[in-house]
Structure 1
Amino acid sequence: MAESNFIYYRGFPMVRSGNEIYYGSMGDRFVTKLTIRESEKYKDAEIPTKVMVQMIPTSPTPEDLAKIRKGEMNSLYEALDTAHVWLTKELFGA
């Protein structure tokens, strides 16, 4: 079995590059993109205070383009929780 170097949150992989976090599998119809827009310094860490969440299709079709969602959250946890709900509803109908 191939070893995975991804971090997983609630069953979906996450990849971070700079201020962008991609949550979800590129093999699925949709992934979410979290963009850290603002952060505050707390001790030695940067804590995100504004995070843009976008659900985007991996292979755009007219049907999938109509399902694009976006919103702005006040914490990384809130953004990840929202991204998880959006992906779960779209991929599994739950």
Structure 2
Amino acid sequence: MPTTSKKNDLLEYKGHPLMRKDNIIYYGSMSDSHIIMMQILDSADMKDLPVAKRVSVQLQQTGANVRNKDRIVKKTEKNSLWSAMDIASIWLDRALGSR
């Protein structure tokens, strides 16, 4: 379950910050070596609320010296936000060497 950080009221999931801009969700901190970018590609209404049906997940390097075409380390597509968050937390923890 996402929690909020007391420092600056950022939403967190499993100890990493979550930030959203339109249909893109960033998971992780830009000060770390890697982040996750999730883009909601398709959604459907369920009881008048939009629910993600297709989500693109990318593990990306954050280094300033990394070329844009080399930035993406791994990518996949999932059929729900829950599945996307699950793989995102695993990939990010492995990339950062935590847990």
Settle same-fold status: TM greater than 0.5. yes
Gaps of 5+ in 2: 1-5
Read off the aligned partner of 1:7 and give its amino acid letter.
L
| CA displacement, residues 16-49 of structure 1 (integer Å, 9 cap, x when unaligned) | 0000000001110000000000001011210001
**Equivalent position of 2:95 in the other structure:** 90
> Which residue of 2 is the match for residue 35 of structure 1?
39
Find the aligned partners of 1:67 and 1:79 in 2 and give their Cα distance: 16
* Structure 2 counterpart of 1:58, from 34, 46, 62: 62
TM-score by length of 2: 0.83
State which of 9, 13, 19 in structure 1 corresponds to 2:17.
Answer: 13
Report the Cα offset of residue 61 of structure 1.
Answer: 4.0
Displacement over 2 Å in runs of 4+: none
Count of residues in Structure 1 that have an aligned counterpart in Structure 2:
91
Report percent identity of matched pairs: 34
Q: Aligned-residue CA RMSD in angstroms?
A: 1.9
1:77 is matched with which residue: 76, 82, 89?
Answer: 82
Structure 2 counterpart SS, 1:85: helix
**Distance between the aligned counterparts of 1:24 and 1:3, measured in 2?**
16
- Scaled by the length of structure 1, the TM-score of the pair is 0.87
